[in-house]
Amino acid sequence: MILLADSGSTKTDWWLIENGNVAREIKTVGFNPYYVSFEKMAMVLKTDFFGKLIPEQIDRVFFYGAGCSSPSKKAVIEKGLRKIFGKTHIEVEHDLLAAARALFGNSKGIAGILGTGSNACLYDGKDVAESLFSLGYMFGDEGSGAHLGKTYIGLHLKNRIPEEIKKAFDQQCGLSHEEILTTLYQQPNPNRFLASFTRFLKTQLNHPFIFQLVENCFDAFFEEQVTKFTGYQTLPFGCIGSIGFHFKKVLMVSAKKYGVTPTVFQTSPMKGLLEYHSGK
């Protein structure tokens, strides 16, 4: 049996694959090695996997995750998995490779991720040929849920929001300035907290102010990431992640400005990865 995992900063989807078919789906929190230790990961998995799978029956584990771009960060995740699966064959790869394999299989393309965080790469049909070092939600992650949320909250706290939007925010979210700042600076996972405000932004997307705010964030994604890759205007562009999928109307507007041709939007790479690994 194969255990396939796609992990972002917020959640992880696990598929147990038997004879090329999905035998079970499991959801856990996200495991980004920049924010979680292998001890914490193992503790969570031991609880969440209990009664749902038998580790000794797993032949191979393929884990694709945000933040797994260097040997040291991959090692954090592998150590956490080893605590559960022992000597089982384990492969830990970057979520960019997951997106590329899921979107394009063995063909070339520009693969983007727009979820809680963001990233992009040039995929040559086999591996990530060009990529950028991710700076995370504080200095990068353009176009991500955290970026959209941070942009909106920054304006909201400075009282630079149209009155009708402010009223809608108060009704839907009911958070004071103090509560927002306390959560951001004193609670764990501020990137997830910021990304949570995209649900509100989605409800207000028809308002010109919000549409422009989201468009500006996607412009930054193309400007700072996609346009840095060789031949980006000649290759198909695909996007994985809830933000790209649910805000694709705005993303299409930004893409057109930069001569990018979007071909596919998916919320998750899992089906594509299932096809890829079944083919292998």
Mean pLDDT, range 211-240, rounded to an integer = 96
pLDDT number for residue 223: 96
- Residue of 145, 109, 143, 144 whose CA lies nearest to 126: 109
Label residue 144 exposed, middle or buried (CB < 10 Å: 0-12, 13-18, 19+): buried
Q: Tell me, what's the pLDDT at 139?
A: 87
DSSP code for 258: T
**28: nearest Cα among 55, 49, 58:** 49
CATH number of 2-98+270-279: 3.30.420.40
Nearest to 117 by CA among 65, 188, 191: 191
Average model confidence (pLDDT) for the chain? 92
Q: Are 260 and 226 in contact (CB under 8 A)?
A: yes
Place of tokens 């970057």: 94
pLDDT in tens, 37-68: 999 999 999 999 988 988 889 999 999 998 89
Residue 277 pLDDT greater than 90, yes or no: no
Q: Measuring CA to CA, which residue among 229, 224, 235, 12 is closest to residue 115? A: 12
